[in-house]
Amino acid sequence: MEINRNTIIKDLIESHPETLAVFRKYNLVIAGGVRGPNEPIAFFAKAHEVDYDTLVKELNEAIEKGGGERIEIPKLEEDKIYEKFVKTAIILTLTVGVAFGAIILSYIAIKLDFNSIYYALIQAHGHAQIFGWVGLCIMGFALYIIPRVKNTELKNRNLVNVCYWFIIAGITLRIILQPLPVRAIRLLLPVSAIFEIISICLFTFIILQTILSSKEKVGIFDKFFKAGIVWFLVSTFINFGMMWYLYKHAIYEIPKNVFSPFVHLYLFGFVFMFIFGVNIRTVFAFLDIKPVREKAVNLTFWIMNISVPVYFISHMLADSNVVALRLSQFIVFPIAFAIIVFIYGLRIFERSTRELHDVVMDRSYAKTIRTAYIWLIVTIIILLVMPFLGHGSELQRRFHGSLNHAVTVGFITMMIIGYASKMIPTFKGIDMHSVKLSNMTFILLNIGCFFRVFSQILVGINEKPLFYAVMGTSGWIELTALSIFGYNLWKTMNTTQETKSPVTQKITVVTKDTKVFDIVDQYPETLQVFLDFGFSQMANPVMRNTMGRVASIEMATKMHNVDMDKFLKALNDKIVSKK
Ligand code: HEM
């Protein structure tokens, strides 16, 4: 099999099992399910920082040495450690998360009053979203990604289930009990927080043991993961303190001056550190840009981790202490600066290196990752305006709600969607169920988020019913977007390679009736022939997977005015050269 930059790793492993040893040597077959990664070699080489030419040379040597006789194919396992975390996160966000949020928002819009809502319900929604949706997604991905970027095994895998059930029990108890005015069972509120503490301590133990067991050189992303874990632990203990306070004082709402800065400590501390860590390790390959500017992202690391606790404490004390108030107004500037430096360091809006311009692969996730950073810039702008709006004023509260939404939906949720759409198909060695649905999610979520963030600001400036109406619809648009995403990702997670590729007749000679898809599926190296003859749309895996399944050579050559006999000869020559 002739290896070129678009050769799909799983196809090469299938026809030349002897290449598996080379891929293993470069830590390359760590994902991709039972048949191996469904990725072009050139992309994988960049993503794993392996020199492409060296890799291809060694693969060809292995094939030469393989010398024809068939050898045993070592069993590749599909690791589904992330699946139940991600599936539960989808269920939670589509029910008590976004659906509940959309209902609350419509109620506020009908009442034309943000204070018309029982705030304990909003806090229950908030907890379901930050621990349920975001927390579970990060835990699931971290359990899969961290052992692989650290080239080691996940330690204490047997504890993962315990970790999962404790966090689910904790979140469920919390979101049901906090708004529920039943005194007799209020002791279960601090109990719910204890369950979450046990789970997050187990998660910390598993991840730190795994990182410490690695012999890989320490990467710049390592400390972001470790800092993220520290803030996850700190958040869960603060959460216990808040639950104990509710129980002790027999009240239902956590004081706003504690809950709101707590949400930001969780987001800027735990969530940002994990997202930044994964971005540093992967974005350069995903977006085909240069590796990060290490000095810049290092600076971000220190400024963020010093500023976050100052932000939390100063905002908590701002109502009662003028020094704390001034500090809470000042601290947003270093945080904004740190995030801008990170965006510069990550090169997220810089031109592509075009190193992978000739590589054929689905890149629909790229716009989602970049758009997430546009929403992060919107978040920073709102953050910088807020100190100039009267402390605790209704206007400042509206801006605060918009900031929350820009960061939780615009940046974090968009990032989760971008990465899940790239990573989960990679984990499984298949394509995303539907790129069309991914694009629908992208468009609808941006429309919904735009409506929410800017109409809520306008409501703060002028309480016009029109602005309330636009805001009230935004939640339903976002619910539709996330439901489409949930369905699309769930279908992808439920697809296995076996189910993905029904066995078709082995092609020995390509004829005018042969389906385009079958040729490329059975002989991936023929893709180059199609491209050479001008069938550029064959570069798009979706086109191959859809049109390619119905179009025969005769139809394709007719449609594109290509000399069929000449094309058939080129294809058959390629197939014969493989044998
Ligand atoms: C996508 C659809 C969503 C809708 C319709 C929605 C709706 C709402 C509403 C109406 C409020 C109260 C008003 C306000 O404070 O602005 C709220 C607050 C909140 N939401 Fe959401 N939300 C959504 C997504 C999210 C996500 C993805 C997260 C977190 C990852 C989240 C976390 C929160 C938090 C923590 C609060 C309370 C903030 C505070 O009081 O400081 N929401 N949400």
| Tens-binned pLDDT, residue by residue, of the chain (579 aa) | 678 888 888 888 877 878 888 887 876 655 666 667 778 899 888 888 888 999 999 999 988 886 544 445 555 678 899 999 999 999 999 999 999 999 999 999 999 999 998 999 999 999 999 999 999 999 999 999 998 888 888 999 999 999 999 999 999 999 999 999 888 889 999 999 999 999 999 999 999 999 999 988 899 999 999 999 999 999 999 999 999 999 999 999 999 999 999 999 999 999 999 999 999 999 999 999 999 999 999 999 999 999 999 999 999 999 999 999 999 999 999 999 999 999 999 999 999 998 888 887 888 899 999 999 999 999 999 999 999 999 999 999 999 999 999 999 999 999 999 999 999 988 888 888 888 899 999 999 999 999 999 999 999 999 999 999 999 999 999 999 999 999 999 999 998 765 544 455 678 888 888 888 888 877 877 887 888 888 877 766 666 766 676 678 888 888 788 888 999 999 888 887 765
Residues 140 and 221 in one domain: yes
Give the pLDDT of residue 69: 45
Give the pLDDT of residue 543: 67
Index of the ligand 1 atom closest to the CA of residue 123 = 37
Rounded to the nearest 10°, the torsion over CA 201, 202, 204, 207 is 180
CATH code for position 557: 1.10.3910.10
Index of the ligand 1 atom closest to the CA of residue 102 = 5
- List all residues 6 or more positions away from 281 whose beta carbon is below 8 Å from its beta carbon: 149, 219, 221
Residues 106 and 223 in one domain: yes
Residues 108 and 34 in one domain: no
The answer to whether the beta carbons of residues 263 and 223 sit under 8 Å apart is no
Ligand 1 pocket test, candidate residues 92, 265, 271, 408, most atoms within 8 A of CB: 408
- Is residue 474 a part of any domain in this protein? no
523-528-531 Cα angle (round to 5):
125
Residues 91 and 170 in one domain: yes
Distances 360 to 165, 434, 560 between C-alpha atoms, Å? 41, 17, 20
Q: How far is the CA of 128 from the centre of ligand 1 (A)?
A: 10
Report the domain count for the chain. Answer: 3
Structural domain that includes position 18: 1-77
| Alpha carbons 195 and 346: distance in angstroms, whole number | 37
Any ligand 1 atom below 6 A from CB of 81: no
Ligand 1 atom 12: residue of nearest CA: 122
Ligand 1 atom 24: residue of nearest CA: 98
Residues 84 and 70 in one domain: no
Residues 126 and 230 in one domain: yes
Written as six digits, the tokens of 515 are 């389906």
Residues 134 and 242 in one domain: yes
Q: How far is the CA of 129 from the centre of ligand 1 (A)?
A: 8
Please state the three-class secondary structure of 85-104 as a single string.
Answer: HHHHHHHHHHHHHHHHHHHH
Coil vs helix vs strand at 391: coil
Residues 108 and 238 in one domain: yes
- Is residue 552 a part of any domain in this protein? yes
Ligand 1 pocket test, candidate residues 107, 119, 122, most atoms within 8 A of CB: 122
| Main-chain dihedrals φ then ψ at residue 44, nearest 5 degrees | -65, -35
Ligand 1 pocket test, candidate residues 121, 397, 404, most atoms within 8 A of CB: 404
Q: Which of 238, 254, 270 is the last residue of a domain?
A: 254
Ligand 1 atom 14: residue of nearest CA: 401
Q: How far is CA 226 from the centre of its chain?
A: 19
- Is residue 131 a part of any domain in this protein? yes
- Is residue 430 a part of any domain in this protein? no
- Is residue 207 a part of any domain in this protein? yes
Coil vs helix vs strand at 399: helix
Q: How far is the CA of 401 from the centre of ligand 1 (A)?
A: 7
Any ligand 1 atom below 6 A from CB of 132: no
Which helix (H) or strand (E) segment holds residue 170: the answer is helix 160-177
- Is residue 38 a part of any domain in this protein? yes
Could you tell me which of 394, 401, 396 has the C-alpha nearest to residue 386? 396
- Is residue 328 a part of any domain in this protein? no
Ligand 1 pocket test, candidate residues 405, 413, 451, most atoms within 8 A of CB: 405
Any ligand 1 atom below 6 A from CB of 457: no
Sign for the pseudo-dihedral over CA of 425, 428, 431, 434: negative
Any ligand 1 atom below 6 A from CB of 133: yes
Residues 148 and 230 in one domain: yes
Distances 113 to 167, 241, 246, 400, 475 between C-alpha atoms, Å? 34, 30, 26, 16, 16
Give the pLDDT of residue 541: 64
Q: How far is the CA of 477 from the centre of ligand 1 (A)?
A: 15
Coil vs helix vs strand at 40: strand
Coil vs helix vs strand at 359: coil
Q: Which of 23, 49, 77 is the last residue of a domain?
A: 77
Site of tokens 């599926």: 521
- List all residues 6 or more positions away from 168 whose beta carbon is below 8 Å from its beta carbon: 88
Looking at the DSSP assignment, which residues form a beta bridge with residue 81?
none
The answer to whether the beta carbons of residues 434 and 487 sit under 8 Å apart is no
| Alpha carbons 100 and 105: distance in angstroms, whole number | 9
CATH code for position 159: 1.20.210.10
| Alpha carbons 19 and 13: distance in angstroms, whole number | 6
Any ligand 1 atom below 6 A from CB of 454: no
Residues 210 and 116 in one domain: yes
Ligand 1 atom 40: residue of nearest CA: 260
Rg (CA), the chain: 26
Residues 138 and 215 in one domain: yes
Ligand 1 pocket test, candidate residues 107, 125, 450, most atoms within 8 A of CB: 125
Looking at the DSSP assignment, which residues form a beta bridge with residue 515?
552
Residues 67 and 98 in one domain: no
Any ligand 1 atom below 6 A from CB of 129: yes
- Is residue 10 a part of any domain in this protein? yes
